[in-house]
């Protein structure tokens, strides 16, 4: 097929199985490579890719994707992050670290961490004043709850509650961002 990715998404939205097959053929390898890079597990990477592609097929008719490649790349990062967050690869990850000695971050890893840190800092600026202050001291100044409570003349429980509130909002915010990027 000589259709652009946007044309393929449009055709997929109209139940065109061949459009889905072409999307699969064009992007499967990159999707798998991204998943494997994050999980370091062949089976997990295959499962994540399958989940993403099944979701795309099931959501056909409602897809509003402008850039399928970026969408899939973000989708795999989001799915892999959830996979890791739920502890499914933590044990293997730590065993590999122990066996490999020192793990050096790649240039891409450093860039992604900087971008994530910048997004979190922007998020923190949008929090209510006291909550934002507490979050900044906790996460960027690395102060303990006790130190923050002392500096702000509030209880440790208040600090804990404000951090919990900020983290819940951050999770939602980053979740929406990942989902948004997932669909771009």
Statement to judge: residues 65 and 125 lie in one domain = no
**CA–CA separation, 26 and 73 (whole Å):** 13
CA proximity to 43, closest of 10, 89, 91: 89
- Give the domain-ending residue among 51, 80, 98: 98
How many domains does the structure of the chain reveal?
2
Q: Which two tokens stand for residue 119?
A: 């997004």
Statement to judge: residues 72 and 114 lie in one domain = no
Statement to judge: residues 110 and 40 lie in one domain = no
- What are residue 117's phi and psi, to 5 degrees? -60, -40
Statement to judge: residues 111 and 50 lie in one domain = no
Statement to judge: residues 86 and 115 lie in one domain = no
- Give the domain-ending residue among 56, 72, 98: 98
pLDDT digits (tens, 9 = 90+) for 61-113: 887 888 888 888 888 888 887 777 665 544 555 555 555 555 566 676 667 67
Q: Is residue 127 classed as helix, strand or coil in its secondary structure?
A: coil
Q: What is the pLDDT of residue 184?
A: 35
- Give the domain-ending residue among 63, 98, 133: 98
Statement to judge: residues 154 and 113 lie in one domain = yes
Statement to judge: residues 112 and 171 lie in one domain = yes
| pTM of this prediction exceeds 0.75 | no
Q: Which two tokens stand for residue 36?
A: 């494997």
Statement to judge: residues 123 and 150 lie in one domain = yes
Statement to judge: residues 68 and 10 lie in one domain = yes
Kindly report the CATH number assigned to the domain that includes residue 33.
1.10.1740.10
Domain range for 72: 5-98
Residues of the chain with pLDDT under 70: 1, 85-106, 108-110, 112, 174-184
User: Is the Cβ–Cβ distance between 13 and 62 less than 8 Å?
Assistant: yes
Statement to judge: residues 88 and 110 lie in one domain = no
Statement to judge: residues 76 and 160 lie in one domain = no
**CA–CA separation, 71 and 48 (whole Å):** 14
Kindly report the CATH number assigned to the domain that includes residue 161.
1.10.10.10
Q: What is the pLDDT of residue 29?
A: 92
Interacting residues of 30 by C-beta distance below 8 A, sequence separation 6+: 69, 72, 73
Q: What is the pLDDT of residue 94?
A: 55
Statement to judge: residues 170 and 94 lie in one domain = no
């Amino acid at each position: 097929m000589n259709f652009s990715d946007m044309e393929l998404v449009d055709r997929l939205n109209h139940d065109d199985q061949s459009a889905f097959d072409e999307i699969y053929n064009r992007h499967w390898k990159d999707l798998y490579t991204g998943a494997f890079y994050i999980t370091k597990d062949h089976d997990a990477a295959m499962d994540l890719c399958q989940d993403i592609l099944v979701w795309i097929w099931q959501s056909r008719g409602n897809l509003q994707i402008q850039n399928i490649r970026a969408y899939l790349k973000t989708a795999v990062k989001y799915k892999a992050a959830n996979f890791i967050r739920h502890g499914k690869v933590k044990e293997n990850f730590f065993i590999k670290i122990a066996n490999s000695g020192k793990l050096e971050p790649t240039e891409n890893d450093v860039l992604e961490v900087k971008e994530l840190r910048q997004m979190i800092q922007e998020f923190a600026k949008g929090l209510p004043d006291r909550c934002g202050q507490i979050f900044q001291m906790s996460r960027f100044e690395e102060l303990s709850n006790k130190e923050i409570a002392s500096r702000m003349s509030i209880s440790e429980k208040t600090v804990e509650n404000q951090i919990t509130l900020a983290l819940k909002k951050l999770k939602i915010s980053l979740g929406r961002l990942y989902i948004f990027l997932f669909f771009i």
